[in-house]
């Protein structure tokens, strides 16, 4: 008897904005946070319009790794982890849930250029983009009527995604806000590492790093070779330490929502890291070998074509 174990993307594909919105609203409804279901759709549609280039004064997203799908994957992961953590407490709280979801929507908008910014791509803002995200959020949510305290709390939640900073150093306005911020910071890491095309998308991330002139990665191959160390020595300790070791709550979400007692994010991350180790062992220093074996989403295929030119 063959038992099929579900995988993360069997349920919701973050490449489809409507599917993500529907799922987030279902989670909010399950937590009996009906006010959130009224507010979130407007935020969702504004962010989709911004990334698509339909937002007045902005060019639209042109960073290939930190794109709309990435943002929506973080939104979805944030909602799921909020849901799972609420299972421990018996009930979710409206304000932290709502502000956490909003912070996920806005956390990378600082990588989007204005209409009159025609030099390069938004990747040039990689270092410090969180501050730009916060500034954009404050400008546009103040017009939407969000008060100063809400804006400040969302700003602190966005700061939880800064890898070089610890959430322990943030003076959150309340324990609940700090908890929500750590959930969102956790979701930002989990959503990337668990992406079914994560390894291939690292080729796109290198292009962003290259434009931003980040040191430490001289080539796509070097980034791939350093990815396991990033997970082991940076991401995992951050998840288990300053971010509060909250990722384990994800099993409770999938049990409640999909009746499967699996942490599908953890399992997807393990598959990615195992697959990467196998590929590096097989290919050694051959970048072309890696590209041929990575090819799934078409990203590696385009890179192979570029190398042939």
Residue 292 forms part of a structural domain: yes
pLDDT at 2 over 60: no
In a domain, 221, yes or no: yes
Neighbours of 251 (CB within 10 A): 18
Answer yes or no: is 1 within a domain. Answer: no
Residue 144 — very low, low, confident or very high, per pLDDT cuts 50/70/90? confident
Residue 2 located in a structural domain = no
Pick from 5, 161, 3, 139: which is nearest to 77 by CA?
161
Q: What is the pLDDT of residues 90-127, one digit of tens each?
A: 667 899 999 999 999 999 999 999 999 999 999 999 99
pLDDT digits (tens, 9 = 90+) for 176-222: 999 999 999 999 999 999 999 999 999 999 999 999 999 999 999 99
**Position 1 pLDDT exceeds 90:** no
What is the domain range of residue 78? 11-308
Residue 169 falls inside a structural domain: yes
| Whether the model pTM is above 0.85 | yes
270 in a structural domain: yes
CATH number of domain containing 272: 1.10.1300.10
Return the exposure string of 265-302: e unless at least 16 CB atoms fall within 10 Å of the residue's CB, then b.
Answer: bbebbeebbeebeebbeebeeebeebbebbeeeebbee
Q: Would 278 be classed as within a structural domain?
A: yes
| CB within 8 Å of 215: residues ≥ 6 apart | none
Task: Quote the CA–CA distance of 251 and 111 in Å, as a whole number.
Answer: 32
Distance CA 175, CA 173 (A): 7
For 120-138, the pLDDT digits (tens) are: 999 999 999 999 999 999 9
Average pLDDT taken over every residue of the chain: 95
In the chain, the number of structural domains is 1
């Amino acid at each position: 008897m063959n038992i099929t174990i579900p995988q993360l993307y069997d349920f919701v594909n973050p490449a489809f904005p409507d599917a993500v919105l529907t799922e987030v609203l279902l989670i909010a409804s399950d937590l009996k946070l009906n006010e959130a279901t009224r507010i979130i759709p407007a935020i969702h549609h504004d962010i989709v319009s911004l990334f698509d280039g339909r937002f007045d004064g902005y060019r639209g997203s042109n960073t290939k790794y930190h794109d709309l799908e990435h943002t929506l994957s973080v939104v979805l992961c944030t909602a799921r982890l909020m849901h799972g953590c609420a299972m421990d407490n018996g009930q979710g709280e409206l304000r932290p849930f709502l502000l956490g979801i909003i912070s996920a929507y806005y956390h990378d908008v600082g990588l989007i250029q204005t209409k009159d910014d025609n030099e390069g791509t938004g990747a040039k803002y990689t270092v410090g983009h969180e501050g730009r995200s916060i500034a954009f959020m404050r400008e546009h949510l103040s017009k939407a009527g969000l008060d100063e305290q809400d804006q400040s709390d969302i700003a602190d939640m966005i700061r939880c995604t800064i890898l070089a900073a610890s959430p322990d150093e943030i003076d959150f306005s309340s324990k609940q806000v700090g908890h929500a911020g750590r959930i969102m910071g956790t979701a930002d890491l989990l959503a990337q590492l668990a992406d079914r095309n994560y390894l291939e998308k690292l080729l796109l991330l290198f292009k962003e790093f290259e434009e931003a002139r980040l040191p430490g990665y001289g080539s796509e191959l070097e980034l791939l070779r350093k990815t396991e160390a990033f997970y082991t020595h940076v991401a995992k300790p951050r998840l288990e330490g300053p971010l509060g070791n909250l990722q384990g709550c994800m099993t409770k979400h999938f049990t409640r929502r999909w009746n499967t007692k699996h942490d599908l994010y953890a399992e997807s991350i393990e598959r990615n890291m195992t697959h990467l180790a196998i590929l590096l062992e097989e290919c050694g220093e051959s970048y072309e070998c890696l590209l041929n074996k990575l090819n799934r989403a078409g990203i590696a295929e385009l890179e192979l074509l570029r190398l042939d030119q």
